[in-house]
Amino acid sequence: MKKIFLLLIMTVLAAILAVNATAGSSLPAIIMLLLGKSTYNGPPLSHQAAMVGPLSGASVQVFQVDDLRTAQEGPIDAAENDSNLLSAGTFDLSLAGIADSAWIVVEATGGEDIDGDGNGAADTAPTANQGTLHALARASDWRGKHIRITPLTEIGWRYVENMIPTVSAEELNIRIADLARYLIKTDISGNGTVDWDDILAFDPANAAHRDKLAFNYNWLTTANDEGQTILASLQAGATEAVLAQLDATFSWLMTRFPVSDSRYHSVKIELAVFGSGSAASGAPHNLSVNSTLAEPVYEDHIFLPENASEQITFTAVPTAETQILSWTGCETVSADLSQCTVPLNKSQSVVVNFGWIETQLKAPVHDLSRAYNIVARTRFLCCCRMIWMTLLLRWQRLILIILSLVMMVAVFCVGLPELIRYPQPIISLRLWKLRLMRLLSGERDICTNS
Ligand SMILES: [Ca+2]
Ligand SMILES: [Ca+2]
C-alpha cells in the first residue's frame, strides 16, 4: 500500500516537473494552471504576450497610469522560443516599490508570433510583429495572476486610455466593469463572474476563449473597405488605423471618449496658480501648487467623494514682490484675499492670480526699448500714404475740373436740350476739327453749329 502511495506521489511530481520543463514557466504558475485557479498569493507569476500565438522575444515595459512616458521597469525581453507555446513570450515583473492598488500599464512590443494562424501548434515560419500591445491591471493583479497581453487587452486599453489620468479610481473601476460586460459573454478567468479578469486571462489561440467573447472574434480578422484588418494593423504598429477600425467596428457598442455619468459619485478639485506665488489646502487633502520653484513638486488635483456639506479651503501665499489679485472657482473668498473655499458638491477648478506689486505702485510704464524702429517704420509708411492720398486727390480734382470745363463749353456752344438730345457734337472729332479750322481761318466763334 505504501509503495503504491509513494508511486502515486512520485508520478504526480514527475508530471509537474515534466510540464514545468516543457513550459519553461515558474512552478507556482504551473501549479496554478494545473489547479485551474485564477488567484494566487505566492511569488510573482510569469505573464505572456500574445498577438494570436505567443510573441517570442517581445520587449516589455511597465508604466504607471499617471506617467505613461517614464518606464517604471524594462525593457524586459520576453522569453524567446520558436516552438514552445507555453514558454515563448513569457516574462516576470518585479514592480518594486509600487503599491498593490496602483494601476499599471504593461506594453509588449515587437517579437515574433510563433502561432500566427492560432491553431494551437507552432508555425513553421513565425510572423514578425512590429506593433505594440497594452494591458491595464492593478499592481496586485500583475503580482497575483497570470496575465496575457493580447489584442483584447489592447482593445480594453484603447477604450480606457482617454479617461486617464483625469478620472478617479472609482470611475476607472466602473469603466472597466462596463467594458468587460461589453467584450465578454461568459466567464473566462474561472471566478464565476464576467469581469476585467476575463480580459486579462483571454487567450486568442484558444477556441473556447474566443467563444466566450461578447463579439465575434472574426471581426478582428475581417478586412474593411481598404482591405485592412484590426489584427494586421496591430501587427504593423499602425495605431491610427487600429483606432479608426475600432471606432468603425465597435461604435454601436462603446466609445473611446466616455463621459462621466450619474454613477460616478466623486468630484475632481483642481488647483492652479497664475503668477508668482503658492497655494495649498493643507491636511488632509494636501493639495499644493508653488509656481516659484524651478521644478515644482506639487499635487494639483484630487478626487473626493461628492459631499455638498463639506468644503475645502485653500490658502494663497504671494512672494515678497507679488500680491494676490483674485481667485476664480471659489464659493467664498476672504476679505484679504488670502483664503478661498470650495464646496465638494461638484468638480471645480480653482485658480489664484498673483500680480507684481510694482505695477500697481508706479505710473504706467511703456517699454520703449524697441520704439525707434517701430516709430521710424510707422513714419515712413505714414508719409508714403499721405503722398499717395494727396496725389490721388489732386488728380481727381484736376479730372473733375477738366470735365466741368468741357461740359460748360459744350452747354454754352450746343445748348443743353441739343446736348441731351444729340450729344455727338461733343465727341465728334470731325466737327471739332472743322471748328478748329474755322478758328484758324479767322472765324472767332468756334461754337457756331453750322
Ligand atoms: Ca500554428
Ligand atoms: Ca471572470
Together in a domain, 338 and 198: no
How far does residue 150's CA lie from ligand 2's centre (Å)? Answer: 16
Instruction: State whether 177 and 83 are in the same domain.
Output: yes
Domain-located, residue 261 = no
**What is the predicted pLDDT for the residue at 133?**
97
In the reported structure, the alpha carbon of residue 315 is separated from the centroid of ligand 1 by a whole-number distance in angstroms of: 64
Are 356 and 379 in a shared domain?
no
* pLDDT by position in tens, the chain (length 450): 566 655 555 555 554 444 443 333 444 444 444 443 334 444 456 999 999 999 999 999 999 988 888 999 999 999 999 999 999 999 999 999 999 999 999 999 999 999 999 998 999 999 999 999 999 999 999 999 999 999 999 999 999 998 887 777 888 898 999 999 999 999 999 999 999 999 999 999 999 999 999 999 999 999 998 899 999 999 999 999 999 999 999 988 888 887 766 566 677 888 999 999 999 998 888 889 998 887 765 678 877 777 878 899 999 999 999 999 999 999 999 999 999 999 988 888 999 999 998 755 545 555 555 544 444 455 566 566 666 766 666 677 777 888 888 778 777 766 666 656 555 544 555 555 666 666 666 555 444 443
Can you read off the three cell numbers belonging to residue 139? 499592481
Which residues partner with 303 through β-bridges? 268
Kindly give the distance from the C-alpha atom of residue 208 to the centroid of ligand 2, in angstroms, as a whole number. Answer: 14
Query: Among residues 250, 276, 293, which one ends one of the domains?
Result: 250
Closest ligand to C-alpha of residue 189 is 2
Q: Which ligand is nearest to the CA of 52?
A: 1
CA of 148 to the centre of ligand 2 (A): 14
Ligand nearest to the CA of 114: 1
Dist. CA 398 → ligand 1 center (Å): 95
Determine the angle formed by the axes of helices 27-35 and 2-23, rounding to 10 degrees. Answer: 110
Residue 82 within a domain: yes
Q: Ligand 2 mean position to 197 CA, how many Å? A: 5
Cell of 87: 514558454
Domain that holds residue 289: 266-361
Beta bridge partners of 301: 270
Q: What is the pLDDT of residue 41?
A: 44
Closest CA to 183 of 164, 220, 156: 156
Q: What is the largest CA-CA distance in the chain?
A: 161
pLDDT of residue 411: 72
Q: Which residues contact 279 (CB under 8 A, 6 or more apart)?
A: 271, 273, 288, 289, 314, 315, 316, 317, 350, 352
Among all ligands shown, which has an atom nearest to the Cα of 83?
A: 1
**In a domain? residue 217:** yes
Ligand nearest 38 Cα, by number? 2
How far away, in angstroms, is 194 Cα from ligand 2 center?
4
> Do 80 and 184 have their domain in common?
yes
Q: Is 410 left (phi over 0), alpha (psi -120 to 50) or beta?
A: alpha
Alpha-carbon gap, residue 374 to 370, rounded angstroms: 7
Q: How far is the CA of 125 from the centre of ligand 1 (A)?
A: 9
Relative to beta strand 266-274, strand 348-356 is parallel
User: Which bound ligand lies closest to the C-alpha atom of 184?
Assistant: 2
Ligand at minimal distance from the CA of 181 is 2
Residue 131 and residue 101 share a domain: yes
Q: Count other C-beta atoms under 10 Å from residue 99's C-beta.
A: 10
The residue type at 267: V
Query: What is the distance in A from the centroid of ligand 1 to the CA of 116?
Result: 6
Q: How far apart are CA 183 and CA 202, in angstroms?
A: 11
Q: How far is the CA of 119 from the centre of ligand 2 (A)?
A: 24
Same-domain check for residues 156 and 304: no
- What's the CATH code of the domain at 332? 3.10.20
3-state secondary structure the chain: CHHHHHHHHHHHHHHHHHHHHHHCCCHHHHHHHHHCCCCCCCCCCCEEEECCCEEECCEEEEEECCECCCCCEEEEECCCCCCCCCCCCEECCCCCCCCCCCEEEEEEECCEECCCCCCCCCCCCCEECCCEEEEEEEHHHHHHCCCEECHHHHHHHHCCHHHCCCCCHHHHHHHHHHHHHHHECCCCCCCCCCCHHHHHHCCCCCHHHHHCECCCHHHHHCCCCCCCCHHHHHHHCCHHHHHHHHHHHHCCCCCCCCCCCCCCCEEEEEEEEECCEEEECCCCCCCEEECCCCCCCCECEEEEECEEEEEEEEEEEECCCEEEEEEECCCEECCCCCEEEEEECCCEEEEEEEEECHHHHCCCCCCCCCHHHHHHHHHHHHHHHHHHHHHHHHHHHHHHHHHHHHHHHHHHHHCHHHHHHCCHHHHCHHHHHHHHHHHHCCCCCCCCCC
184 and 61 within one domain: yes
State whether 160 and 243 are in the same domain.
yes
Domain-ending residue, one of 186, 218, 250: 250
Q: Which ligand is nearest to the CA of 205?
A: 1
**Looking at the CA of 122, which ligand is closest?**
1
CA of 389 from ligand 1 middle (Å) equals: 84
How far does the centroid of ligand 1 lie from the alpha carbon of residue 84, in Å? 11
Inter-CA distances, 15 with 19, 21, 86, 241, Å: 6, 10, 16, 46
Q: What is the pTM of this model?
A: 0.58
Domain co-membership, 270 together with 179: no
Q: Within a domain: residue 446?
A: no
Residue 255 in any domain: the answer is no
Ligand 2 center–CA 171 separation, angstroms: 20
Q: Which of 223, 250, 277 is the last residue of a domain?
A: 250
Query: How many A from CA of 53 to the centre of ligand 1?
Result: 8
Ligand nearest to the CA of 82: 1
81 Cα: distance to centroid of ligand 1 (angstroms) = 14
How far apart are the C-alpha atoms of 61 and 148, rounded to whole Å? 14
* Strand arrangement of the beta sheet that strand 148-149 belongs to: 90-91, 47-49, 148-149
Domain count, the chain: 4
Tell me, yes or no, whether 256 lies in a domain. Answer: no
Whether 339 maps to a domain, the answer reads: yes
pLDDT computed for residue 63 by the predictor? 96
User: What distance in angstroms lies between residue 69's CA and the mean position of ligand 1's atoms?
Assistant: 35
Residues 6+ apart with CB under 8 A from 247: 256
Specify if 259 maps to a domain.
Answer: no
CA of 300 to the centre of ligand 2 (A): 36
Q: Which ligand is nearest to the CA of 177?
A: 2
Residue with cell 461740359: 407
Distance 124 CA to ligand 1 centre (A): 8
Q: How many CA atoms lie within 13 A of 54 on its CB side?
A: 24
Nearest listed ligand to the Cα of residue 200: 2
Residue 255: Cβ-neighbour burial (10 angstroms; 0-12, 13-18, 19+): exposed
User: 137: CA distance to ligand 1 center in Å?
Assistant: 29
pLDDT given at position 345: 86
CA of residue 198 to ligand 2 center, whole Å = 5
Q: 325 and 280, same structural domain?
A: yes
Q: Based on the fold, state whether residues 273 and 396 are members of the same structural domain.
A: no
Residues 352 and 396 reside in one and the same domain: no
Residues around ion ligand 1, judged by CB within 5 A, are 115, 117, 119, 121, 123
Distance 190 CA to ligand 2 centre (A): 6
